[in-house]
Amino acid sequence: MSRAPGGANKGTCRSTGEGPVKVLTTVNARIRGWRAARWLLAPASAVLLAGCAHPQSAPQPREPHSPSEQLAELYPRLALSGLFEDGKALADAVPRAEPARILEAYRAARPLDEAGLERFFEAHFRMPRPAPLRQPAPGLPLIEHIEALWPILTRRSPAVPAHGSLLALPNPYLVPGGRFQEIYYWDSYFTMLGFGDAQRPLKRAMVDNFAHLLRTFGRIPNGNRTYYLSRSQPPFFFKMVELTNQEAPAKAFAAYLPELKAEHRFWMAGAEGLAPGSASARVVRMENGALLNRYWDDRDSPRDESYAADVATAKASRREPSQVYRSLRAGAESGWDFSSRWFADGRSLPTIRTVEIVPPDLNSLLFGLEHAIADGCRELRDEACTSAFERRARMRRAAMQRYLWNERTGLFDDYQWREGRLLGNVTAAALYPLFFQVADTAQAARTAATVEAELLKPGGLVTSNRTTGEQWDAPNGWAPLQWIAVSGLRHYGHDELARTIAARWLDTVSGAYGNTGKLLEKYDVITRRPGGGGEYPLQDGFGWTNGVTVALARLYPELLETPASPAEGELRGTAR
C-alpha cells in the first residue's frame, strides 16, 4: 500500500487515551481458549481503533482461533502423544476439514490407542509442505551470500489454507529461516537493517504487512499464526517505519500515525484506574503512581507450538499450572525465550515468573514509541497530541530512572514489582536505554564499563553472565543485541568498545560461515562456534543475523575487507 506522508492520514486519530481490554482467565488448561476466545480480544480491537479510522480500513473479522482452541481435548492428546519431535509441526498442521467435524469424528472414534491416534491424525490433517531447502552458490563472499539469501527467504501468503494456523498477509515478507517459515515481529526490524536499494519495495511491503495486522487485530502478533495472536513481541514497528524514510523520520511516523497509536494503546490497555502497586495485562502502576510495562500473554494455557514442553515445565514447577503457562508465554512475548532473567532462582525454567518483572528493554522501546508518536503528531501540527506523548515519554524516563537503574551493578536492571526490588541481572538488555537514549551520560559510562567487564567475550557480546542451558543466556550471543549495543554505545561516544563488539561479532559470523557455508540463528561467543541450548535445534537462514551483519559491515567496512568464504566442496552441515 502506498502512502503520501502527511496526506491522506492527516488529522486522523486525535485521541490519546487507552481503550479497554478483556483478559482471558480460566481454570481448565485444555478447554479454556476454545470456550473463551470468541469474546477475548474482539471487543478490545473494536475499541482500539475507535476514532482512529484508517482511510483504507475494512470491518474487522472475528479473531480466528488457534489450533488448541479449535480442537479442545484432541489437541492435548496429540501434543502429548510423542508423535511430534517438534511441537510446532502440530501447530502448523492443516486440518483437512472443519475442526468441529474432526473433533466430532475423534469423539466418536474413542478410545484410540497410540497407533490409532497416528492413523487418525494422518487421515484428518496434512503437514505443510516445507519450503525448498536451497542455499546460494557455494564460495560466495559473505555479503554476496546474504544478498543471495533475500529472495530465498521471501514468502507470500495473500491466501492461506482453510482452517490452518497461518494468517494471510497482503504483501511479500521475509522469514527467519529453518523451522520459522512465517514472519516474526521483532526479527523483522533487524533483518531489514541489511536491506539495500534492491530490497526497498520489500521493506515497504513488510511495514505495510505489520500495519495491516495492527488494523486487523489491534496488535502485531508474535508472528502470522493464529496461535501467536494472544501475544506480541518487543515493539519495534516504529523503528521499521523509521527505516522507510531515514532522511525525514517524522514524515514516516506521520504517515503511519494511526497504527503507531494503535500499538501504543495495545501496550497500555488496562492502565485506566489501575491502583498503585498493581498490574493489568501489560501495564504496571508503580508505587508512586508512574506507569511502566511488563511482558504478558492474554492466555494462560500451554503454548500450541510448545505444548508438551510447557506441560512438563508446569509439572516440574509444583505451582499452579496457569501461572507457569502465563509466564512462559510472556517470556515468548519478550523474545528472550528463555533466559535466567525471568527465573526466580536465576537458574531453572520451572521457576519462571516473567509477569512479575518490569524490564528495561520493553520500557525503552515504549519510550521510543512515545517519542515517535510525538514527532508524527508534530509533523501534522497536532499540538495537543505532541504535548501528550512528550509528557508520557518524560514520565516513563523518570520512572525508569527511579526504579530500573541499579547503582550497585551500574546497569539498568529488571525490577520485581511485587517485591519492590531490583534483581541484579547483568544482561545485554541493559543496553536498550543507551540505544533509545534513556540513560544519562554517567549511566552510559557505567553501563559501558560493566558491559566490557562482564559481557564482552572473544566472539562478541554474550547475552547474560549466567550459563543455564537456556538459549538467551551465556555462552550465546545474538545478532539483535550486538546491534543494540554497538548503536547505543556510539550514541554516547563509547566508539572503541562499540567497534570492538562489532569486530568480534563479525569475526564470529564470518568464521562460522567459512566453516559451514551458512549464517546461523545464534553463536557461542565464548568459544566462537555455533550456539546451542533452548527448546529446538540451532536454525540456519537466518534473517536477523543476515541483516545485522550487513549493517555492521556498512558501519565498519574495513572489518570485512577479506571476508571468510567457504571453499567449494568443503561445506559442513550446521552444528546442532
Q: Per residue, what are the HEC states of 296-327? A: CCCCCCCCHHHHHHHHHHHHHHCCCHHHHHHH
Q: How confident is the model at residue 178 (pLDDT cuts 50, 70, 90)?
A: confident
Catalytic residue list contains 521: yes
pLDDT tier at 550, thresholds 50, 70, 90: very high
pLDDT in the model for residue 133? 60
Residue of 382, 413, 521, 540 marked catalytic:
521
Residue-level pLDDT at 562:
52
Q: Which residues make beta-bridge pairs with 155? A: 173
Sheet arrangement for strand 529-530: 476-477, 523-524, 529-530
Residue owning grid cell 566462537: 528
The 10 Å Cβ neighbour count of residue 238 is: 26
CB atoms within 10 A of CB 64: 17
* Nearest-angstrom CA–CA distance, 308 and 316: 12
CB 228 within 8 A of CB 41: no
| Predicted TM-score (pTM) of this structure | 0.87
Q: Is the predicted pLDDT of residue 570 greater than 80, yes or no?
A: no
DSSP type of residue 464: B
Q: Work out the burial of residue 287: count CB atoms within 10 Å of its CB; fewer than 13 is exposed, 13-18 middle, 19 or more buried.
A: exposed
Confidence band, pLDDT 50/70/90 cuts, at residue 45: very low
Distance CA(468)–CA(67), nearest Å, equals 32
CB 435 within 8 Å of CB 364: yes
Residue % of the chain over a pLDDT of 70:
86
CA distance 10 to 328: 40
Task: Sort 516 into a burial class: Cβ within 10 Å, 0-12 / 13-18 / 19+.
Answer: middle
Write down the pLDDT at residue 359.
Answer: 99
pLDDT tens digit sequence for 121-167: 999 999 987 666 678 999 999 999 999 999 999 999 999 999 999 99
Please give the Cα distance from 193 to 204 (Å, whole number): 13
User: How high is the mean pLDDT of the chain?
Assistant: 88
For 193-209, the pLDDT digits (tens) are 999 999 999 999 999 99
- In the three-class reduction of DSSP (H, G, I as helix; E, B as strand; rest coil), residue 474 is classed as strand
In angstroms, the CA 332 to CA 327 distance is 8
Nearest CA to 433 among 414, 420, 417?
Answer: 414
pLDDT for residue 55 is more than 60 = no
- Sign for the CA dihedral angle at 423, 426, 429, 435 comes to positive
334-343, 468-477, 511-520: the lowest-pLDDT one: 511-520
Percent share of the chain, pLDDT over 90: 82
Q: Which amino acid is at 317?
A: S
The active-site residue out of 337, 370, 375, 413 is 337
Rounded distance, CA 294 to CA 241, Å? Answer: 23
In this predicted model, what pLDDT tens digit does every residue of 507-546 receive, in sequence order? 999 999 999 999 999 999 999 999 988 787 878 889 999 9
Mean per-residue pLDDT for 493-510? 98
Residue ranges of E strands in 236-348? 278-280, 283-285, 291-293
- For residues 483 and 503, is the Cβ–Cβ distance under 8 A? no
More confident residue, 25 or 540: 540
Active site residue 382: no
Q: Can you give the pLDDT at residue 534?
A: 79
Statement: residue 14 has pLDDT above 50 = no
pLDDT in tens, 216-242: 999 999 999 999 999 999 999 999 999
Q: Can you name the residues that pair with 147 across neighbouring β-strands?
A: none
